[in-house]
Amino acid sequence: MTSPVLVTGGTGRLGRSVVARLVEAGQEVRVLARRQRDTQPQATFFTGDLRRGDGIDPAVRAAGVIIHCATSTLPPPGHTEGVRTWDQFLAEELAEHRDPAARVKSA
């Protein structure tokens, strides 16, 4: 591969490994994510948000190949409907599973 490779989510768990392997192989690498953190110094970082569409064009224009490693398990900023804290999740979802015998009796 000679064209620069863009790794979306190149700062994440999977993306970081992909970026490290590419750099090790002598590949020119671009990284796209919302925040710069622990990016390989040999890679060029682009700030962008795939959900909002900000900053994608310059990163894509600078690449010949794209490896998509970005993901988000969090809801978009400001979206709170249906979002629960871990404590709420435990209280609401798991409470009934703590006493399986009680569930069988009530069935």
Ligand X SMILES: NC(=O)c1ccc[n+]([C@@H]2O[C@H](COP(=O)([O-])OP(=O)(O)OC[C@H]3O[C@@H](n4cnc5c(N)ncnc54)[C@H](OP(=O)(O)O)[C@@H]3O)[C@@H](O)[C@H]2O)c1
User: Where does this chain bind ligand X (CB under 6 A)?
Assistant: 8-9, 11-15, 32-35, 48-51, 69-72
Residue 9 or 27: the one with the smaller Cβ distance to ligand X is 9
- C-beta of 84: minimal distance to ligand X in Å? 19
Distance of CA 17 to the CA centre of its chain: 13
Distance CA 12, CA 67 (A): 13
Residue 9 or 29: the one with the smaller Cβ distance to ligand X is 9
Residue 19 or 27: the one with the smaller Cβ distance to ligand X is 19
27 with 88: CB under 8 angstroms?
A: no
Q: How far is CA 90 from CA 33, 72, 75, 99, 100, in A?
A: 31, 22, 19, 14, 15
Q: Which residue is nearest to ligand X (CB)?
A: 12
Residue 9 or 22: the one with the smaller Cβ distance to ligand X is 9
- C-beta of 79: minimal distance to ligand X in Å? 13
- C-beta of 100: minimal distance to ligand X in Å? 31
**Residue 19 CB neighbour total at 10 angstroms:** 26
